[in-house]
Amino acid sequence: MGVMGNPMKYSMVLAENEEESPWEPLHVEHGFKKEDSTLTVFYPNSYAQVLSYRTDDKGILSTMTYNLLPGRRDGLTCIVLIPSHAKTLARKGWSKRDIKAYISEFARVPFYQHPYSMGSFVSEDTSKIAPLSPSDFIRLIPNPEKIRLIVAGGPENFMGIIRGSSVATSLEDGEVRIGMVTKKIELPANWDKLVAKYKNVIPTYARY
């Protein structure tokens, strides 16, 4: 149980806009076939909706790197891009791997602002990365594999930045495990009949 809890652990759900995405979808990155229907679970710690500085590739990338705040967050970072931003980056030759590497390299803060300087609970060996001066800049996400990019939403000029917390799924072996869990959805054999039967059902929340 958390002291205050986090509503996003229960109430934030989004659908990846695969049709408008120029890149392979998230579940394919996780080893599934493109035609598979999947569900991915991720433990977020904070969410920010950010207005992009500009609509070209440099503006979009700058918005990502300059809005990652330091904190005790050694977990996964998930950036939600709208289709137009994703297409702009793809047209300029940016792949998902390129973007992750760029963010990892250029999202930096002075060492004295970084949780490493305060001995926060992180999995990396901080003794090997401390700079000579507290004012020297240090990367917020040294490992680009701790970044995920998802294309979702419609036409606008915003992006979402979701930061994961330092979450240990098992402490027995002293290992800190982070990340997303993706499972394939197996629909029942009579799925089409069920859809037809309940297509006019109005969810309770839609009445208010």
Q: Where are the domains of the chain?
A: 17-207
Residue 161 token pair = 């930045």
- Looking only at the bridges linking them, the beta strands covering 77-81 and 158-164 are antiparallel
Mean pLDDT of the chain, nearest integer? 81
pLDDT at 168: 47
CB-based contact 167:42 (threshold 8 Å): no
pLDDT in tens, 69-121: 776 556 789 999 999 999 999 999 999 999 999 999 998 877 766 665 555 54
Question: Against a cut of 0.85, is the pTM above it?
Answer: no
pLDDT at 170: 46
HEC states along the chain? CCCCCCCHHHHCCCCCCHHHCCCCCHHHHCCCCCCCCEEEECCEEEEEEEECCCCCHHHHHHHHHHCCCCCCCCCCEEEEECHHHHHHHHHCCCCHHHHHHHHHHHCEEEHHHCHHHHCCCCCCCHHHCCCCCCCCEEECCCCHHHEEEEECCCCCCEEEEEEECCCCCCCCCCCCCCCCEEEECCCCCCHHHHHHHHCCCCCHHHHC
Q: What angle do CA 82, 86, 36 make, to 5 degrees?
A: 85
CA neighbor of 60 nearest in space, from 188, 149, 193, 179: 149
pLDDT band at 43 (very low <50, low <70, confident <90, very high): confident
Residue 194 token pair = 């069920």
pLDDT in tens, 124-158: 555 555 656 666 777 888 889 889 999 998 888 89
For residue 172, is pLDDT > 80? no
pLDDT band at 26 (very low <50, low <70, confident <90, very high): very high
